[in-house]
Structure 1
Amino acid sequence: MRLAPISPADLRNDQKPLFDAMTEGVAAKYSDFITSRDDGALLGPWNAWLHDPELGTAFWGATQAMTKAKRIPDDARQVAILVTGAHFGAAYEIYAHGRVAQARHAMSDRTLSALVAGQRPDDLNDDQAAAHDLAAALLRGGVLPAPIYDQAIRRFGQAGTNELIYLVGHYCFVSMTLNGFAIPVPE
């Protein structure tokens, strides 16, 4: 880990508002995985963003907007996030969203293992399959092929397809944050 977690007692004045916002938001959404140390210091991408509160506030705002959108089913969102995390080998992302997928959507170990290995599981429902295919195609680079885009439009409509494309891009950024700062899975 390249950026030490910041305990609440050690926050600078410019970090406190972001810390409070992220702590509240993370606690409200994520209880399926470890997001902080015992002393309250944030882990994951949130710690990195806290080290640079000016940019971190913008990143947190984008994260909040992605969280509020909810135009596609959450199980499909989790598949797209896991495909993205696996593509970049972002350990904390795989850990966190794997736990969410299993706890909230009963994703099997077999399905999770296939996603993490970069494979397309054969037991995905239609929404999950569309999310998987779109994420995998975007991560290969180039223009999203028309059949995959059209499939997403049929499943999620224009607004949902937009969200899915933005979600993959957002989690590419989260993956870069996690990998760039060598953020590990909590012990």
Structure 2
Amino acid sequence: MAARLPPKPRDQLTPEQQEMHDLYGKATKSVFGKAGGSFVFEEPDGSYNGPLPFFAYLPSAGRSLFAQMSALGKLPIPPDAREVAILTTGAHFKAGYETYSHIPQAVHLAGLSQLQAEELAVGRKPEGLSKEGDVTWEMASYLVNTPGPLPKEIWERAVGVLGKEVVVGLLHYIGFYAYVSIGLNAVDAAVPE
């Protein structure tokens, strides 16, 4: 199926959308340029795939989402726990672009093995996660798969391993990437070949 909001080159965007394009491009190149070059976010015509068409379609909402994503990136969260949370959430929603774009980050920026990242991307808990990654998987998996409150024992274990500030930060990641995964699925964001 074709993307419902296909990527557009900068010159085909409104001035407000161009601002979002430039902001997204600068930040994405800064982060993903460090991810081993193993995933494509810029098309040959200079358009950006993934969440940008979704963010840019309504620039005022997109700027708000992008600001939240930037703020989350500044939280003191262990990189492996962050990627475990994102991949576990993306896997639950079967958000192809989300898992496609975060496998390289999990490997090149967060120290997970390729196998661990791929297991997470299909909703399985891999062997050999750090204690931070392990408790993050338990928390994220429970929250995206089970209605109702997080059990006290998972909360206490997570706070004991990560600290309350990191746990709350991870909850923001899980919620944010659930939202982004739903949006990517709704617009049928294509995974580059």
Question: How far off is 1:127 after superposition?
Answer: 0.6
Matched, 1:27 2:29: yes
Aligned partner of 1:12 in structure 2 is 14
Match of 1:149 in 2: 155
Runs of 4+ in 1 over 4 A off after TM superposition: none
User: What residue identity is the alignment partner of 1:3?
Assistant: L
Q: Which residue of 2 aligns with 1:43?
A: 49
Whole-Å Cα distance in 2 between the matches of residues 110 and 34 of structure 1? Answer: 20
Alpha-carbon deviation of 1:60? 0.8
Q: Is the 8 A contact 2:103 2:114 kept in 1?
A: no
Deviation at 1:160, TM superposition (A): 0.6
Change (3 A) 1:105 1:13: closer
Instruction: Tell me whether 1:123 sits opposite 2:128 in the alignment.
Output: yes
1:11 shift after superposition: 1.8
Do 1:41 and 1:47's aligned partners in 2 also have CA atoms closer than 8 Å? no
Q: Which amino acid aligns with 2:32?
A: Y
Counterpart AA for 2:127? D
Indicate the larger mover: 150-159 or 75-84.
150-159
- How many residues in Structure 1 have an aligned counterpart in Structure 2? 186
Q: Alpha-carbon deviations, 1:68-105, whole Å to 9, x = none? A: 11x22101110111111110100011111111112234
Q: TM-score, normalised by structure 1?
A: 0.93
Higher helix share: 1
Q: Is the 8 A contact 1:95 1:185 kept in 2?
A: yes
5+ long unaligned stretches in structure 1: none
**Which AA in structure 2 matches 1:30?**
F
Q: Name which of structure 1's ranges 38-47 and 78-87 shifts more when overlaid on structure 2.
A: 38-47
Residues 102-141 of structure 1 aligned to structure 2 (within 5 Å): 102-139=107-144, 140-141=146-147
Q: Which residue of 1 aligns with 2:96?
A: 91
Structure 2, unaligned runs of 5 or more: none
Question: Cα offset for 1:143?
Answer: 0.4
Cα RMSD, aligned residues only: 1.4
